[in-house]
Amino acid sequence: MDFGIFNIMQQRDTSKSASQVFNESIEQTMVAEQLGYARSWYAEHHFSNYSLCPSPLMMCAHMAGRTTKIRVGTAVVVAPLYNPARLLAEIGMVDLLSGGRLDLGIGTGYQGYEFDRFGVDLANAREITSEVLDLIEIGLRAQAFEYNGQHLKQPRSSISCKPVQQPVPPIWYAGGDPDHLRRIARNDQTLFVSGVLGGVTRMKRTREMFEKAALAEGKDPKKVRLGVSRLAFVSNNKDDVRKYVECALYQQRLAVSLKQRREKVENDYIIDEEPYDEEPSIEAIMRNLPVGDVDSCIEKMVRLVRELRPVHICIQPQVGDMDHKKSLASMQLWAEEVIPAVLREVGDVQAAA
């Protein structure tokens, strides 16, 4: 098991320029490498301040040139929004440029606001994602290939820049479609899950679904590969912790409004923050998330590891308008105090699984 960070690159404070948002994410990755984190992940979103990063592959390519060891990952490529031929070539190119450090996170997407502006029907996202996954497996393995799917067609073609990691970079799938779960279980790939603002229980149900999919494929359900993304913040300053939790609620409010298609947009791309039905209180979020002082974060993370048995955990150090320097300080505390204590407590989670 290893740890990483997730970069969402939100612009809650419109006085902060896009350049500053990106520069802070760049610094977080460089500091993460110095602190010994294994991976840095980048989001993909479009047309709103929910995230300013439209291309996680471009971020991976850029950060590969700014770092030497840390793995760089897409969390996630929103598969239905891509021309697959270009996507395959760019996957190969980024893996080449990074020296084989690319982790390829793939997802169906969920924000209709984005799909509308790409001219893609969200109702077809699951089927298109299946075809993109087909094309990744075929197009990056074969010298030449062709494809005739329901949604995607590709005449005989050859991807000239094959990835360093053969036959394809590690695939991490984010989603819950039953057919997709069976597919990634069959291929021994990794399921990426997030508990959002909830506790471990929700993620445990997802693992159980994945285990059932693995069993249906004749695989050992105890050996499925699970990656966990978690809103997480450690500090001895209670006000800073509460601020982070409030920012986490802000992120979820925007996500829910975009998912439910009730987004209200100001100044062309700023999504209004509005409460949603059954949203948890600040106090409930503080109980659910690995946030708080060092001892509290250790205790919550140990429980997560024991119940979910992940191969990877990535924490999200910055969300909303959380102060960048305080996010870096939290990353350092995680690396120097929380993570070593968690690993001592739980041992090698792969062996435990």
pLDDT tens digits along 91-125: 999 999 999 999 999 999 999 999 999 999 999 99
Which CATH superfamily groups domain 2-352?
A: Luciferase-like domain (3.20.20.30)
* Amino acid at the residue 246: E
H/E element, 78 = strand 71-78
User: What rounded mean pLDDT belongs to the chain?
Assistant: 97
Q: How far apart are CA 148 and CA 307, in angstroms?
A: 42
pLDDT tens digits along 306-323: 999 999 999 999 999 999
At 156, is the secondary structure helix, strand, or coil? strand
And the tokens for 164?
């360093």
Reference 132, options 80, 72, 91, 185; nearest CA is 80
CA 185 to chain centroid, in Å, comes to 19
pLDDT tens digits along 275-288: 999 999 999 999 99
pLDDT tens digits along 5-44: 999 999 999 999 999 999 999 999 999 999 999 999 999 9
Which segments within 187-325 are labelled E, that is strand?
Answer: 190-194, 225-231, 233-234, 265-266, 270-271, 291-292, 312-316
Task: Report pLDDT for 353.
Answer: 42
Q: Cα(first)–Cα(last) distance of the chain, in Å?
A: 11
Give residue 351's pLDDT band: very low, low, confident or very high (50, 70, 90): very low
pLDDT tens digits along 243-271: 999 999 999 999 999 999 999 999 999 99
| pTM, to two decimals | 0.97
| 190, 226 Cβ separation under 8 angstroms | yes
What mean pLDDT is predicted for residues 46-74? Answer: 98
What mean pLDDT is predicted for residues 46-69? Answer: 98
pLDDT tens digits along 71-92: 999 999 999 999 999 999 999 9
Domain boundaries, the chain: 2-352
Q: How far apart are CA 41 and CA 76, in angstroms?
A: 8
Peptide bond before residue 84 is cis, with ω within 30 degrees of 0: no
Give residue 347's pLDDT band: very low, low, confident or very high (50, 70, 90): confident
Task: Report pLDDT for 31.
Answer: 98
Task: Report pLDDT for 348.
Answer: 58
Task: Report pLDDT for 242.
Answer: 98
| 113, 131 Cβ separation under 8 angstroms | no
pLDDT tens digits along 131-156: 999 999 999 999 999 999 999 999 99
Burial label for 11, CB within 10 Å (0-12, 13-18, 19+), is: buried
Task: Report pLDDT for 92.
Answer: 98
What mean pLDDT is predicted for residues 197-221? Answer: 96
* 240: CB partners within 8 A, 6+ apart: 233, 323, 326
Radius of gyration of the chain (CA): 20
